[in-house]
Amino acid sequence: MVLALATVAQNLDSASFDLIVLGAGSGGLAAAKRAARHGARVAIVEGDRVGGTCVIRGCVPKKLLVYGSQVQEQLADAASYGVTVTAAQQDASVLLNNVRNEVDRLNALHISFLEKAGVTLVRGWGRFLDDHRIAVRRDGDGEREEVLQGSRILIAVGGQPSRPSIPGADLAWVSDQMFLQESYPQRVVIVGAGFIACEFACILRGLGVDVTQLVRRDHLLRGFDRELADAVQEGMVEKGIDLRFGTAPTAIEGSPGDLVVCTDGGERLPCGGVLLATGRRPFLDGLDLASAGVQVEGHRVPVDADQATNVPHIHAVGDVTDRICLTPVAVDEGRAFADAAFGGIHRQVNHDLVASAVFSQPELATVGLSEEAAVERLGADQVVVHRARFRSMAQALPKRGPRCLLKLVVDNTSDRVLGCHMVGEHAAEIIQMAAIAIGMGATKADFDRTMALHPSVAEEFVTMG
Q: Identify the CA nearest to 247 among candidates 213, 216, 278.
A: 216
What is the set of active-site residues?
454
- Dump pLDDT digits (tens) for 73-89: 999 999 999 999 988 89
DSSP lists the bridge partners of residue 126 as 136
Predicted local distance difference test score (pLDDT) of residue 392: 94
Residues 132 and 260 in one domain: no
Domain span at 188: 169-278
CB 287 within 8 A of CB 126: yes
DSSP string, 391-446: --GGGTTTT-SPPEEEEEEEETTT-BEEEEEEESTTHHHHHHHHHHHHHTT-BHHH
To the nearest 10 degrees (0 to 180), the angle between helices 92-117 and 2-10 is 50
Residues 247 and 383 in one domain: no
Residues 373 and 446 in one domain: yes
In a domain, 380, yes or no: yes
* CA–CA gap between residue 234 and residue 327 (Å, rounded): 28
Residues 383 and 251 in one domain: no
Residues 449 and 371 in one domain: yes
Residues 367 and 394 in one domain: yes
Residues 45 and 183 in one domain: no
Residues 242 and 309 in one domain: no
CB 80 within 8 A of CB 399: yes
- Dump pLDDT digits (tens) for 203-236: 999 999 999 999 999 999 999 999 999 999 999 9
In a domain, 356, yes or no: no
Output the domain CATH number for residue 47: 3.50.50.60
Which residue type does 157 have? Answer: V
Low-confidence ranges of the chain (pLDDT < 70): 1-14
Residues 139 and 268 in one domain: no
Residues 260 and 293 in one domain: no
In a domain, 259, yes or no: yes
Residues 143 and 200 in one domain: no
Predicted local distance difference test score (pLDDT) of residue 14: 58
**CA dihedral sign, ordered 352, 355, 359, 361:** positive
* Number of folded domains that form the chain: 3
Residues 150 and 174 in one domain: no
* Final residue in a domain of this structure, among 260, 278, 296: 278
Q: Is the peptide bond before 185 cis (omega within 30 degrees of 0)?
A: no
